[in-house]
Amino acid sequence: MSSSAISNFPITQKWPAQHPERLQLYSLPTPNGVKVSIMLEETGLPYEPHLVSFETNDQMSPEFLSLNPNNKIPAILDPQGPGGKPLALFESGAILLYLADKTGLCIPADAAERYEAIQWLMFQMGGIGPMFGQLGFFHKFAGKAYEDKRPRDRYVAESKRLLGVLNQRLADRQWVMGDSYTIADIAIFPWVRNLVGFYEAADLVGINDYPHVQRALAEFVGRPAVQRGLLIPGR
């Protein structure tokens, strides 16, 4: 399959591929975005990152919408998809699962453990991401001006509950799945990092009440691939 086949995708008109044989990443270094760049760095797959700037509404451009009609980052275009055909994919959780299956890395080989890892991936997608994101809105961004603090307090309470679930899970294991580092960790910990860092909500959620989460977060951030992935794409 010729790598020039991805030139048929309109997104390559706005973000030309300098290395069309590589997987193309369209993203921003946000919690959802860095999930994929970290996974790519962990697996060693060759890829080419492209910055999707929200400041210039790149995510609303016809070219980006042609790849992701939901106008969210990240998205990928893999010239070497299943069957050797190009594959366009959006939703960070789906991309993590695809990259894990493509490489055989960061996901258990055992069928039962594989589904358990996917379970924790969905725990992030359906719980941690949306709840932490809403807390950030009401604590740091436009919502902080609201006199009524009940919305903020709702998301604080739910974030604490989710942290408690995660803390209990990590009480007797290094990573979410035990000794093995998986896509569950890659999905969860960028959001925990964002909560206590960018959202400045460490005191609000009482992060010191979750020592196992703090320990695992420190180990996660200490990984070289994570340190690289957190900066990709460069702003």
Model pLDDT for residues 60-97, shown as the tens digit of each residue? 999 999 999 999 999 999 999 999 999 999 999 999 99
Cα–Cα distance for residue pair 122/33, rounded to 1 Å: 16
- CA 126 to chain centroid, in Å, comes to 13
For residue range 172-200, what is the model confidence (pLDDT) as tens digits? 999 999 999 999 999 999 999 999 999 99
What's 41's domain CATH number? Answer: 3.40.30.10
pTM of the model: 0.96
Are 140 and 84 within one domain?
no
Amino acid, single-letter form, for residue 156: V
Question: Is the same domain home to 117 and 100?
Answer: no
- Domain coverage including residue 127: 111-226
Once rounded to an integer, what is the mean pLDDT over residues 52-59?
Answer: 95
Do 123 and 221 share a domain, yes or no?
yes
CA distances from 166 to 77, 147, 170 (A): 32, 31, 6
Same domain, 116 and 18: no
- pLDDT grade for 5, boundaries at 50, 70 and 90: confident
Average pLDDT over residues 213-228: 98
Average pLDDT over residues 206-226: 98
